[in-house]
Amino acid sequence: MAQNRPVDAIAQRTLELVNIPSQSRWEGEAVEYVRKAMPTAPAYDDDTVLFWPGRIVLAGHLDTVPAQDNYPGAIEDGWVVGLGASDMKGGCAVMLELARAGARFGFLFFGREELPAGESALPPFFEREGLECELVVMMEPTDNEIHAGCLGNLNARLTFRGESAHSARPWTGVNAIALAIDALAPLAHVEPRDVEIQGLVFREVLSITEIVGGIATNVVPALATATLNFRYAPDRTPAEAEQVLRTLVGDSGELELLANAPPGGVAAESALVRALRDVGHLAVAPKQAWTPVAEFSAHGLDAVNFGPGATRYAHRQDERVEIAALRRSYDALARFAATVSS
């Protein structure tokens, strides 16, 4: 039975994955490891994507952010420590151990998730193979909660143009940084917007994440730019989010939209999600971030986030996943597989 798979095997599997370098765009060795570890050959194998079909598909990305002196990993005091342990090689290890124990799931491993959405390996997979299933469980770090939906992610550049001048005679020019300060101040204080969907509250927020300007200490600059990041709630379409941002910016500068990843549909009330919640005794929360759940829901698929990783450790230098959390994810999904296949 899948439930009897020993937890130390999951911890060891996690450590082995952590110790395979797989920064985005360099996932090849990790892909080969998964290919060999899975009990059967994949139905689809191309461009860092390995896929085994099923009614319910567990999905995990194999890539990580760049190392921060946290490689190689180790097992310490009940934790697997190292690059990608939380986000999300612990989740991938759980997937591998479930597959090797015969749990009746489909499995999807892929790369380039930590890059902007347009560079993900998933769009070519959808174009070439497609995906038919009743639920996707994306094993992102969620502290063993079900995180439904996800926020949209809109990035834009706001440019301010002035006229350069000597800093001893600033009145002879127009200071682009001063224009930026005046325009960005109200944007920095836009109040969050809380949106309730299926009993879950998503918080929509606008942030100024970068600002650049100036060429010398004695020159009034003619150019300044700022990057805006708008995390918008699932009740908006990408086009609506763009219009909201244009309205907020007004005519204060030149707005250039850089990337717009749509939000994920909220599937908290689907029968299969309720079954996973009940069998695992799991809390359900909104996903206050963007995840590939959005890519699955864009293709008409119910999808949720659920995994052993601790959100507070994702992308940190001291990244880690608790071995007890690996056990809980494994056991919950093993019971879920037995429930839905009976």
What domains can you pick out in the chain, each with its CATH number? 2-150+264-341 (3.40.630.10), 152-261 (3.30.70.360)
Q: What pLDDT, on a 0 to 100 scale, did the predictor assign at position 254?
A: 98
CA distance 208 to 230: 9
Q: Which two tokens mark 52? A: 């085994």
Q: Active-site residue among 27, 87, 97, 113?
A: 113
What's the alpha-carbon Rg for the chain, to the nearest Å?
Answer: 23
Can you say whether residue 77 is alpha, beta or left, with left for phi > 0 and alpha for psi between -120 and 50 degrees? left
Q: What pLDDT, on a 0 to 100 scale, did the predictor assign at position 176?
A: 98
Q: What pLDDT, on a 0 to 100 scale, did the predictor assign at position 144?
A: 98
Residue 185 CA to chain centroid, in angstroms?
Answer: 29
Q: What pLDDT, on a 0 to 100 scale, did the predictor assign at position 342?
A: 55
Average pLDDT, the chain: 95
* Res. 6: pLDDT tops 80: no
Q: What pLDDT, on a 0 to 100 scale, did the predictor assign at position 64?
A: 95
Average pLDDT, integer, range 7-22: 93
* Res. 5: pLDDT tops 60: no
Share of the chain above pLDDT 70, in %: 98
Can you say whether residue 183 is alpha, beta or left, with left for phi > 0 and alpha for psi between -120 and 50 degrees? alpha
Q: Is 182 a catalytic residue?
A: no
CA distance 144 to 306: 6
| Residue listed under structure tokens 């151990």 | 97
Q: Is 63 a catalytic residue?
A: yes
* Predicted TM-score of the model (pTM): 0.89
* 211-240 tens-digit pLDDT: 999 999 999 999 999 999 999 999 999 999
Can you say whether residue 47 is alpha, beta or left, with left for phi > 0 and alpha for psi between -120 and 50 degrees? left
Residue 215 CA to chain centroid, in angstroms?
Answer: 36
Between the CA of residue 98 and those of 57, 273, 296, 329, what are the distances in Å? 12, 19, 22, 10
Is the distance from CB of 125 to CB of 295 less than 8 angstroms? no
Is the distance from CB of 164 to CB of 195 less than 8 angstroms? no
Q: What pLDDT, on a 0 to 100 scale, did the predictor assign at position 116?
A: 83
Sign of CA dihedral 332, 334, 335, 341: positive
| Residue listed under structure tokens 């300007």 | 213
Please choose, from the candidates 148, 36, 65, 48, the residue with its C-alpha nearest in 3D space to the C-alpha of residue 108: 48
61: helix, strand or coil: strand
Residue 95 CA to chain centroid, in angstroms?
Answer: 18
